[in-house]
């Protein structure tokens, strides 16, 4: 039997074909059918024509790079607090302890929804004021991230309307003060170090399923994101998820997915 190197194994992992959800499609029922099929297939789908401008996305990514390029001493000044807001250093999370030797080779920064203290979630752990880098060090950083956060939340609410129809519910089922009117919604910036060696238990981000209603992923187009459509079948079959050609500003949507980053 031929012995394959880790590089050989990666090369034979196929690229996955995903359903595409077009938020510019006025036929929401058609989109609901596609979304339902995507969830049955893998829990993963493309999102296009979402309305977030290319300029805003580029600015958010550029500002993100500026933060992660800061000296560690500066980043540690906004270390993640007990409300899960702020900076998380490398190896902070260990998502797949069965297969990982140590924590993920990534660092992150979490921004959350700042709902009113008297709202239905005002006393919950995931609702509190955000913490921000020094504006003298990163001018305009907070303003860019707040704007991008609101735009991403708008996209989530649009997808929630389609999700409601896919579940045979009223289109505005989730659009209530108790749900998306005051959501537990986090935006996490990630910087991956580019170190991954599965044979040694080293991953940029270990295998995991996201929690919550849905997740949106915006990437810089660099390959690395993988999904497994059936985590219970052994050996697991992992597939790369590429960016769409012709849609530089597409996003990935996730509902009940199983993923990792190499």
Residue 3 pLDDT greater than 80, yes or no: no
In Å, what is the CA distance from 76 to each residue of 72, 88, 134? Answer: 6, 9, 12
Report the mean per-residue pLDDT for the chain: 88
> Alpha-carbon dihedral of residues 142, 223, 91, 63, nearest 10 degrees?
-10
pLDDT at 12: 43
Chain segment 18-75, per-residue pLDDT in tens: 899 999 999 999 999 999 999 999 999 999 999 999 999 999 999 999 999 999 999 9
Distance CA 196, CA 202 (A): 5
DSSP of 128-186, one letter per residue? S------TTTSTTHHHHHHHHHHHHHHHHHHHHHHHHHHTTS-TTTT-STTTTTS---E
Looking at the chain, the whole-number percentage of residues with pLDDT higher than 90 is 60
- pLDDT tier at 137 (50, 70, 90 boundaries)? very high
Chain segment 184-233, per-residue pLDDT in tens: 899 999 999 888 888 899 999 999 998 889 999 999 888 889 999 888 88
Distance CA 32, CA 19 (A): 11
Strand partners for 192: 106
Chain segment 67-121, per-residue pLDDT in tens: 999 999 999 999 999 888 999 999 999 899 999 988 999 999 999 988 656 655 5
The DSSP call for residue 79 is B
pLDDT at 169: 97
pLDDT at 125: 67
Distance CA 54, CA 155 (A): 14
Structural domains of the chain, with CATH: 20-260 (2.60.120.330)
């Amino acid at each position: 039997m031929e012995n394959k190197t880790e590089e050989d194994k990666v090369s034979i992992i196929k690229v996955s074909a995903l359903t595409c959800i077009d938020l510019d499609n006025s036929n929401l029922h058609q989109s609901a059918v596609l979304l339902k099929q995507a969830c049955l297939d893998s829990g993963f789908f493309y999102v296009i024509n979402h309305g977030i401008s290319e300029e805003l996305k580029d600015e958010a990514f550029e500002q993100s790079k500026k933060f992660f390029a800061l000296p560690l001493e500066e980043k540690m000044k906004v270390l993640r607090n007990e409300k899960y807001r702020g900076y998380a250093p490398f190896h902070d999370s260990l998502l797949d302890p069965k297969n990982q030797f140590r924590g993920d080779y990534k660092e992150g920064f979490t921004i959350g929804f700042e709902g009113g203290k008297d709202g239905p979630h005002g006393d919950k752990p995931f609702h509190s004021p955000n913490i921000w880098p020094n504006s003298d060090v990163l001018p305009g950083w907070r303003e860019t991230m707040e704007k991008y956060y609101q735009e991403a939340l708008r996209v989530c609410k649009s997808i929630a309307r389609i999700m409601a129809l896919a579940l045979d519910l009223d289109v505005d089922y989730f659009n209530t003060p108790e749900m998306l009117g005051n959501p537990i919604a986090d935006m996490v910036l990630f910087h991956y170090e580019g170190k991954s060696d599965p044979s040694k238990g080293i991953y940029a981000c270990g295998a995991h399923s996201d929690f919550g209603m849905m997740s949106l992923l915006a990437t810089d187009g660099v390959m690395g994101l993988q999904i497994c459509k059936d985590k219970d079948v052994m050996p697991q079959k992992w597939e790369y998820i590429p960016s769409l050609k012709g849609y530089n500003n597409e996003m990935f949507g996730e509902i009940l997915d199983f993923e990792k980053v190499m």
